[in-house]
């Protein structure tokens, strides 16, 4: 399950106490220009390090987000281990971001200061390549990727392209909403584009960071659900996730899986 690594860190870690606009107070009560506290990786295979940088100013088409929470995704290891071609360091990972718009750059008209937003893996598109002209922005030839080609949400403040930001309702807890920007949209889109209809049988293989969300989406959408998973943690999650419209089975082999699915038709 995705976790929250950064949850209003600067207000909680004791390094700073809030000061006036554009300033913060250090441990001696003296005012100093505010800094952006972030966790970066400075080379492939390097360790995470806490670093202070200047708070960035949004450029044209960008917004600055004050990060309230950021989930941990397994894909963040691509930054730590250097697993993405052409990755430039230092880099700040994190693409399950929830925060508040702090400032909008030139040309941004759809967002304003105070809007509660989220940012996921997709970090922006160029609007003009063949994929974008078809409306398939996620396969943009020049796609930006949050936390990979742009600094992500392991920070107090981050910049995001205006087209990569999603509005979030106030009722969603930030730490719980963060993983929906990656694991959530992955499983929801899989179901949405699967061709299955309410009442059909859906199999969820593995109850991890994505699977536990897939089970809930499928159950709430009216599917019959079979889940496959092992271990004590899986059994605990099953008891908390499964509802009246959901069938479960522990499937030990592919052959048995197929038999179990057919028996439930």
Contact assessment for residue 125 and residue 163, using Cβ atoms and an 8 Å cutoff: yes
pLDDT computed for residue 34 by the predictor: 85
22 and 133 in a single domain? The answer is yes
pTM of the predicted protein model: 0.78
pLDDT computed for residue 261 by the predictor: 41
What mean pLDDT do residues 215-233 have?
83
Domain assignment present for 188:
no
164 and 237 in a single domain? The answer is no
pLDDT computed for residue 240 by the predictor: 60
Domain assignment present for 63:
yes
Lowest mean pLDDT among 44-48, 131-135, 175-179, 230-234: 230-234
pLDDT computed for residue 9 by the predictor: 45
162 and 215 in a single domain? The answer is no
pLDDT computed for residue 260 by the predictor: 46
Domain assignment present for 21:
yes
pLDDT computed for residue 14 by the predictor: 34
Domain assignment present for 16:
yes
CATH number of the domain that residue 208 is part of: 3.40.50.720
Domain assignment present for 60:
yes
Q: How far apart are CA 160 and CA 144, in angstroms?
A: 10
pLDDT computed for residue 242 by the predictor: 55
What mean pLDDT do residues 38-67 have?
97
Domain that holds residue 254: 194-263
Q: How far apart are CA 180 and CA 115, in angstroms?
A: 18
What mean pLDDT do residues 54-63 have?
97
What mean pLDDT do residues 57-63 have?
97
Domain boundary among 181, 206, 240: 181
Confidence of residue 229 (pLDDT cuts 50, 70, 90): confident
Q: Is the pLDDT of residue 252 over 50?
A: no
What mean pLDDT do residues 132-137 have?
96
pLDDT computed for residue 39 by the predictor: 97
Q: State percent of the chain over pLDDT 70.
A: 74
Q: How far apart are CA 238 and CA 58, in angstroms?
A: 44
150 and 62 in a single domain? The answer is yes
174 and 215 in a single domain? The answer is no
Confidence of residue 209 (pLDDT cuts 50, 70, 90): confident
Domain assignment present for 220:
yes
130 and 225 in a single domain? The answer is no
Domain boundary among 135, 151, 181: 181
CATH number of the domain that residue 136 is part of: 3.90.180.10
pLDDT computed for residue 26 by the predictor: 56
pLDDT computed for residue 11 by the predictor: 42
125 and 70 in a single domain? The answer is yes
The alpha carbon dihedral of 65, 69, 75, 79 has a sign of positive
What mean pLDDT do residues 110-121 have?
97
Confidence of residue 249 (pLDDT cuts 50, 70, 90): very low
pLDDT computed for residue 143 by the predictor: 96
pLDDT computed for residue 29 by the predictor: 57
> 94-105, pLDDT tens digit by residue?
999 999 999 999
> 7-30, pLDDT tens digit by residue?
544 443 433 323 334 555 555 555
Domain boundary among 130, 160, 181: 181
161 and 257 in a single domain? The answer is no
> 143-164, pLDDT tens digit by residue?
999 999 999 999 999 999 999 9
67 and 109 in a single domain? The answer is yes
72 and 102 in a single domain? The answer is yes
Total domains present in the chain: 2
136 and 92 in a single domain? The answer is yes
239 and 146 in a single domain? The answer is no
- Report CA-CA distances (Å) from 14 to 3, 26, 27, 71: 21, 10, 9, 21
């Amino acid at each position: 399950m995705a976790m929250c690594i950064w949850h209003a860190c600067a207000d909680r870690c004791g390094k700073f106490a809030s000061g006036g606009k554009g300033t913060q107070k250090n441990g001696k009560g003296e005012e100093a220009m505010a800094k952006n506290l972030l966790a970066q990786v400075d080379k492939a295979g390097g360790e995470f390090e806490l670093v202070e940088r200047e708070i960035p100013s949004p450029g044209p088409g960008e917004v600055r987000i004050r990060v309230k929470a950021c989930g941990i995704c397994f894909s963040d290891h691509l930054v730590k281990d250097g697993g993405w071609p052409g990755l430039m360091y230092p880099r700040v990972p994190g693409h399950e971001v929830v925060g508040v718009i702090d400032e909008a750059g030139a040309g941004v008209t759809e967002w304003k200061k105070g809007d509660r937003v989220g940012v996921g893996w997709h970090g922006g598109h160029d609007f003009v390549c063949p994929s974008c002209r078809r409306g398939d922005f996620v396969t943009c030839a020049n796609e930006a990727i949050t936390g990979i080609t742009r600094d992500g949400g392991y920070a107090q403040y981050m910049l995001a392209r205006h087209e990569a930001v999603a509005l979030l309702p106030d009722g969603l807890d930030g730490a719980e909403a963060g993983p929906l920007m990656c694991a959530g949209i992955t499983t929801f889109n899989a179901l949405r584009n699967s061709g299955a209809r309410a009442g059909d049988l859906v199999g969820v293989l593995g109850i991890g960071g994505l699977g536990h969300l897939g089970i809930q989406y499928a159950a709430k959408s009216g599917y019959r659900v079979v889940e496959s998973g092992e271990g004590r943690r899986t059994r605990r999650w099953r008891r908390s996730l499964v509802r009246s419209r959901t069938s479960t089975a522990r499937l030990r082999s592919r052959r048995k899986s197929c038999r179990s699915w057919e028996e439930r038709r």
